[in-house]
Amino acid sequence: MAASIADLPYWEVEFNQDGSIVSDGGLVADSAGGGVRDLFLFSHGWNNSFSGARSLYRDMFSMIAGMLPAERRAATGFVGVLWPSLLFPEDGPADGGGPPPVRSSGAQLATALAPAFPGQEQQVRTLGALLDARPQDGAALEEFHALATGLVTTAETGGPEDNGERFAVEASPRTAISDMAGTPGAPDGDAQGIDFFGKMWHGARELLRTMSYYEMKNRAGVIGQQGLGPLLSKLQGQNGQLRTHLLGHSFGARLVAFSLAGLPASATRRSSPVKSLLLIQGAFSHFAFSPSKPGALARLADRVDGPLVATHSVHDRAVGLWYPNASRLARQDSQGLDDFNYNWGGMGHDGYQHDGVVALALGAAGSGYDWENGRFYRLDSSAVIRKSLSAFSEAHSDISHPEVAWAAVSAAGLGL
């Protein structure tokens, strides 16, 4: 049975990491009644608990509800997606906001990471123990590499442009860890200096961080394609008049985008259940929809019967710096840092990167957007998404703003 946000029906759909549904909150049964015509569905990104996701959904859906015309409110509902993602303990604000935790011990990292890797808890504990012990031993680093890369068990869903982290899995342990040792925060010294192993264990820590990203990004794609896409088709079968509007933040943007790959081939244009797509600071390749790469979703734009919109901000350090940094071992394919960051860049840094994309600024609530069905739009949101909520990701999670909510309402064709 539906709960409510701002007096409008609200359902929660929870997915397992393989895309199977834990609970649909009664959404499928309730959709058969036909009372809801417009459904806003939002997926969170990295998160340690569902409480943070629920807080985000309350904030955003409440703002959206307040912007709807009175005659459309009675036929509008909300869905919050819950999925097993992971916020690396040092990478972002706590569920309630505020600064991230201080640098964690290996044991603390293991405690935080273990729930996200069911069946691999002992593997995670061993990784934590090695980080704390920091053996001056190359064999221990090789063991760490094998254990860390072994955490990635979910299949890739994207193309080469979105899977740069694979290099760290395929490279030799010494190459992968020494390359990761060049990340910010590494101790002083070099391969000839006294702190060689200090730098290498810093690299090992960054390798663990990168592998956790890689697994969560892969999960988002699988859940979108194997879970959410089929669910959207099922809802459409229950209620042929239902218009679904997809919103996703961070890795959740990847989840909702990859749901398009889970729709049947016939679900194009007016036959598609998806009537708008809003990717909020997306943590996946800005080439995902590019025909020239080709991106993994390049041929799926027509599965959105409406505009495809992406926000981006220069203040988002998570996708501006750390997202391409996860592909460090691919550096040999670039001529310089700017080229490298562009080749491996994230959606939330500069939006869709292919021909025919319309560049706009994120406007104030009530702004007029001249959306066209099937057209891509990148919204420069740097003037709004700018507050640093953590030293690591800066403004990546600063998204609960009326301007963002209005972009969702307007793209859905429901503006006042």
Q: Which of 241, 195, 245 is nearest to 64 (CA)?
A: 245
DSSP 108-140: HHHHHHGGGSTT-HHHHHHHHHHHHH--S-HHH
292 and 376 within one domain: yes
- Return the bridge partners of 379, or none: 311, 360
**Rg of the chain on CA atoms, in Å:** 21
- Helix pair 106-113, 196-222: axis angle to 10 deg: 10
Q: Is the pLDDT of residue 190 over 50?
A: no
Q: Which of 187, 189, 217, 221 is nearest to 201 (CA)?
A: 187
Q: Say whether pTM exceeds 0.85.
A: yes
Tell the residue number behind the tokens 């997926």, with chain if given: 43
Burial pattern 213-233, b for ≥16 Cβ within 10 A else e, equals: bbbbbbbbbbbbbbbbbbbbb
406 and 361 within one domain: yes
- pLDDT value for 331: 65
360 and 243 within one domain: yes
* 52 vs 36: CA distance, rounded Å: 26
* 390 vs 373: CA distance, rounded Å: 36
197 and 113 within one domain: yes
Q: 97 in a domain, yes or no?
A: no
The residue out of 215, 245, 267 marking a domain boundary is 215
Name the phi and psi angles at 3, rounded to 5. -90, -155
Q: 92 in a domain, yes or no?
A: no
265 and 144 within one domain: no
391 and 361 within one domain: yes
Q: Is the pLDDT of residue 95 over 60?
A: no
Tell the residue number behind the tokens 């025909």, with chain if given: 291
Tell the residue number behind the tokens 């608990």, with chain if given: 49
Q: How confident is the model at residue 183 (pLDDT cuts 50, 70, 90)?
A: low
Tell the residue number behind the tokens 């990761």, with chain if given: 180
207 and 146 within one domain: yes
Q: Which of 289, 288, 224, 235 is nearest to 259 (CA)?
A: 224
Q: Is 233 left (phi over 0), alpha (psi -120 to 50) or beta?
A: alpha
Q: Which of 81, 80, 69 is nearest to 37 (CA)?
A: 69
Q: How confident is the model at residue 100 (pLDDT cuts 50, 70, 90)?
A: low
CB-based contact 13:24 (threshold 8 Å):
yes
- Round the average pLDDT of the chain to a whole number and report it: 91
50 and 19 within one domain: yes
The residue out of 215, 246, 268 marking a domain boundary is 215
Q: How many CB atoms lie within 10 A of CB 161?
A: 22
Q: 159 in a domain, yes or no?
A: yes
Q: Is the pLDDT of residue 78 over 50?
A: yes
* 139 vs 124: CA distance, rounded Å: 18
* Both structure tokens of 411: 């793209």
223 and 209 within one domain: no
CB-based contact 322:390 (threshold 8 Å):
no
Q: Are strands 8-15 and 3-5 parallel, antiparallel or unpaired?
A: antiparallel
* 334 vs 361: CA distance, rounded Å: 30
- pLDDT value for 124: 97
Into how many domains does the chain fold? 2
369 and 267 within one domain: yes
pLDDT digits (tens, 9 = 90+) for 26-35: 999 999 888 9
386 and 311 within one domain: yes
Residues 159-166, mean pLDDT to the nearest whole number: 89
The residue out of 215, 235, 263 marking a domain boundary is 215
Burial class (CB in 10 A: 0-12, 13-18, 19+), 403: buried
- pLDDT value for 103: 82
Greatest alpha-carbon span in the chain: 72
Three-state SS for 296? Answer: coil
278 and 404 within one domain: yes
Q: 186 in a domain, yes or no?
A: yes
Q: Is the pLDDT of residue 94 over 70?
A: no
Name the phi and psi angles at 253, rounded to 5. -65, -40
pLDDT digits (tens, 9 = 90+) for 215-239: 999 999 999 999 999 999 999 999 9
Q: 96 in a domain, yes or no?
A: no
Q: Is the pLDDT of residue 96 over 50?
A: no
Q: Please tell me what DSSP assigns to residue 301.
A: G
Domain ranges, residue 299? 3-87+216-411
Q: Is the pLDDT of residue 241 over 90?
A: yes
Q: What CATH number is attached to the domain comprising 315?
A: 3.40.50
- Return the bridge partners of 77, or none: 39
